[in-house]
Structure 1
Amino acid sequence: MRGLLLFAAALLGIGSSAAEPPPDARAIVARAVAAHGGETWLAPGTLVLAGEAEFFGTDRAEPVSRADEYRMWREMNPDRDSAHGADGKVRIEARASGALMFAVGYDGIATWTDKGVMPAAEAEAYWASNFGFGIIRSALAKSLRMERAPSREVAGHAVDLVRIYDARGESTLFGFDKESHFIRYMAFQSPRGWHERQYDDFIRLTDQNWVQAREVTLFYNGVMANRVRWRSVEIGAPIRPGLFEFDPDAINQNRRPAPAP
């Protein structure tokens, strides 16, 4: 019996020494970048997304409003080093049956909504509660600090968690699918509380080698706030001059449908 136990112990020792060590944080991020499209995904220049969205309150189960037309125009900054501040340029519009529900944008200097230019302090808190994903695109090139966090499941998918710190020391938690290496999860502390996003329904644009999550669900303090379903994506498309600037006449004139990019 003693001989059998020693033999079993020897086998266990061989198995444990031969097991591959878990990948470190940088290896996981590099693997994800490659899975999403490599250099094209890191620096697309512009990104235009169109779809629909539903918005939830904190005191009921069903959505409080729906946008059958939800669009985002994005001009990327490849040198981004701040995770949760306004960066590059962005415009988001939500419409229901052609009527404008809300619009918000950042032109590189000022933040505005359909109601006017947002005061600086309010704008800083707004973007700090919304921006966070883009830091992963510059994390490797800028050698930002990264560390592993305990792996977990997100919506039934096993993910590796990595915490990325921006140049100011602010952290963002990313969850990478263990099989596909796609980003399924992101989370960070925001002025509105603990903000989480879950990504699903991935597609690959084979002509541009770009992976896009068509469903994004946002949570604050564990409560779902809104869900977006993207129907179309354009990478590197030209965006007309002035789209990111505040233009009250264009916004309010008959509440027309969203302008073409």
Structure 2
Amino acid sequence: MIRLLAMALLAWCGCTGPALARSDDSARVILEQAVAAAGGEAWLNPSTLYLAGHAVFYAPDSAEPRSTADDYRMWRAMNPDRTTAHGADGKVRITAKSGGKLLFEVGYDGATTWTEKGVMPKDQAGAYWASNFGFGIIREALGTGFKLERAPDRDIAGHKVALIRVISPDGGTTLFGIDQQSHYIRYMGFVTPRGFHERHYDDFIRLPSGWVQAREVNLFYNGQKANTVFWREVRVGEPIDDTLFASPAKDR
């Protein structure tokens, strides 16, 4: 059933098969509008990003929350030369806590993926990041080696969005949905080892630097909501101690 659903979603989004007969120039214009709306150069080239808020996680095949992280944080050190759409890139650490108790923690130090339990085997790590990483590639998509295509437009939570495909040099394909009025990025979708992954972005704010941040992100796999993240604190370009990305388990 999951395989059939994924195939149907792929056929709908155009992630496989021949491209639609719409010009790449129109897709580029849409992306350029999205970049300008998101903050232009400040948004394209952040050195670091820190986000903090809370998150709700849902049980499989259920609309009921499974757990809530009242303290949910992400630190990122960016790679300005990213060419891989759905793989570990730069450096990252994500921590989820509830009532001061650690629910889970995962990080990547540029070479090794780790969790609160220790170092993650490489094959498992590859599948994990391929199921979770994808948004950042849009910052590189106007560069050399990337291909842009149009896809059928759709409605996301009452907002009409223009869909484009970003095809990275490694062949990875990611759908992005750009709000036709605000030009904010409201949607992302791509194929993962876990199924067809989609994210819906909402509740946008603009920082003094011009950076636009979605403070609500809903994540889905094969149409089933997996979690919702509510960001309430945003810091861009501030120094992050490199030791933060190293596995705490190495010291245990």
TM-score over 0.5 (shorter chain): yes
CA distance in 1, matches of 2:144, 2:237: 23
Which runs of structure 2 are paired with 1:1-261 in the superposition (5 Å)? 24-205=26-207, 207-248=208-249
Name the counterpart of 2:7: none
The CA deviation string for residues 216-236 of structure 1, in whole angstroms up to 9 with x for no partner, is 000000000000000010000
Instruction: Please tell me whether the aligned partners of residues 186 and 200 of structure 2 are also in contact (alpha carbons under 8 angstroms).
Output: yes
Q: Give the letter aligned to residue 225 of structure 2.
A: M
How many residue pairs were aligned?
Answer: 230
- The alpha carbon displacement at 1:249 in A equals 7.0
Q: Return the structure number with greater relative CO, CA threshold 8 A, min gap 6.
A: 2
The CA deviation string for residues 108-166 of structure 1, in whole angstroms up to 9 with x for no partner, is 00000000100000000000000000110011023510100011101110000000111
CA distance in 2, matches of 1:166, 1:241: 28
**TM-score normalised by length of structure 1:** 0.86
SS at match of 1:108: coil
Query: Which structure 1 residue ranges, 5 or more long, are not aligned?
Result: 1-20, 253-261
Question: What is the root-mean-square deviation of aligned Cα atoms in Å?
Answer: 1.5
- The alpha carbon displacement at 1:248 in A equals 2.0
**TM-score normalised by length of structure 2:** 0.89
Instruction: Please tell me whether the aligned partners of residues 61 and 224 of structure 2 are also in contact (alpha carbons under 8 angstroms).
Output: no
Instruction: Please tell me whether the aligned partners of residues 51 and 235 of structure 2 are also in contact (alpha carbons under 8 angstroms).
Output: yes
Identity %: 61
Q: Give the letter aligned to residue 235 of structure 2.
A: E
Q: Which runs of 4+ in 1 moved over 2 A?
A: none
Instruction: Please tell me whether the aligned partners of residues 105 and 116 of structure 2 are also in contact (alpha carbons under 8 angstroms).
Output: yes
- The alpha carbon displacement at 1:168 in A equals 1.2
- The alpha carbon displacement at 1:60 in A equals 2.4
The CA deviation string for residues 97-118 of structure 1, in whole angstroms up to 9 with x for no partner, is 1110000000000000000100
Instruction: Please tell me whether the aligned partners of residues 24 and 150 of structure 2 are also in contact (alpha carbons under 8 angstroms).
Output: no
CA distance in 2, matches of 1:132, 1:55: 20
Task: Determine which structure has more spread, i.e. the larger CA radius of gyration.
Answer: 1
Q: Give the letter aligned to residue 37 of structure 1.
A: G
Query: Which structure 2 residue ranges, 5 or more long, are not aligned?
Result: 1-22
